[in-house]
Amino acid sequence: MVTIEFLGPIQKAAITMEAASLRDVAEVLKQDSELAQWIESCAVAVNDTLVGSLDTPLKSGDKVSLLPPVCGG
């Protein structure tokens, strides 16, 4: 099981799921209309390290964080 956390304005509680890679996570999240809009624009971290590929492997106990873009002044 991996934990998926949603940061910033996404406003969703963390979820857990079985996933072998980030691609598996993305496929599940795309099924939620509220989350689908964020999938393409978010940075993704696995265990607090930014990653750039949906082929990133996951193992039980990993934490996946979706980090939406933010504006600052």
Q: What is the CATH number of the domain that holds 34?
A: 3.10.20.30
pLDDT tens column, 7-56: 988 889 999 999 999 999 999 999 998 888 888 889 999 999 999 999 99
Start-to-end Cα distance in the chain: 38
Total domains in the chain come to: 1
> What pLDDT, on a 0 to 100 scale, did the predictor assign at position 38?
86
72, part of any domain: no
Task: Return the pLDDT at 9.
Answer: 87
Q: What are phi and psi of 27, to 5 degrees?
A: -60, -40
58 part of a folded domain: yes
Residue 73 included in any domain: no
Q: CA nearest 2: which of 66, 52, 67, 53?
A: 66
Domain that holds residue 24: 2-67
Q: What angle do CA 10, 36, 8 make, to 5 degrees?
A: 15
Residue 10 in any domain: the answer is yes
Query: Where does the pLDDT of residue 72 fall: very low under 50, low under 70, confident under 90, or very high at 90 and above?
Result: low
User: Is 30 contained in some domain?
Assistant: yes
pTM of the model: 0.89
Instruction: Report if residue 16 sits inside a domain.
Output: yes
